[in-house]
Amino acid sequence: MHIPPIVSHEDWDAAREQLLTKEKSVMRAHDALAAERRRMPWMAVDKAYEFIGPNGKASLLDLFEGRPQLILYRAFFEPGVFGWPDHACRGCSMGADQVSNLTHLNARDTTLVYASRAPQADIARLKERMGWRMPWVTITDSFDADFGVDEWHGHNVFFRDGDRIYRTYFINSRGDEAMGTIWYYLDATPLGRQELWEV
């Protein structure tokens, strides 16, 4: 490891202030990007998709659990994935470990659901062993192929207006790395953080 210069308290404060200016610039850029995301056009979802959850069959509409926003993460836990049947994909597992308490997300009208092709018995076993508490359903049809997550993980964001469903955004690859906290989930949704300062 390269050791940087060792400086006085005053010089350290000055260096930190200089870096903080850049950090604030990145934060403002992130806020502006989230605002632009909220204004993106939507795509109507006209096809009926069916999943299997702990209580049996469920439609895409059912996954919203009555809330207007749904974030559906495609996790790779199924035959053919490295580690099956004992483990899910390493990256998906790391992401699952980062998922925070969903109470605050739900309070802001948003539901998070994980989806894989593994049977429910295997999902329940994995969740119990790992201590994961997020809802997790089984994909039964072409949902993953239709929404760009048949070969790689990703978060699809949907909005519900009555019984009409719209796809509003999609995050995958390294974009998934930031997911797990309530704020980053909300930043991906059309309603955003629902704070007064948002534009």
**Whether pLDDT at 127 is above 90:** yes
Virtual torsion, Cα 108, 174, 24, 103, nearest 10 deg: 20
pLDDT for 25 beyond 80: yes
171-184 mean pLDDT: 92
How many CB atoms sit inside 10 A of residue 198's CB? Answer: 14
For 51-64, what is the mean pLDDT? 98
Cβ count within 10 A of residue 183: 14
**Contact predicate 191/110, CB 8 Å:** yes
Query: Which residues are CB-contacts of 91 (< 8 A; sequence separation ≥ 6)?
Result: 153, 176
pLDDT digits (tens, 9 = 90+) for 156-170: 999 999 999 999 999
At 74-94, the pLDDT tens digits run 999 999 999 999 999 999 999
In this prediction the pTM is: 0.94
* Residue 19 to residue 144: CA distance in whole angstroms: 41
As a whole number of Å, the CA-based R_g of the chain is: 19
Which position has the token pair 């062993």?
A: 129
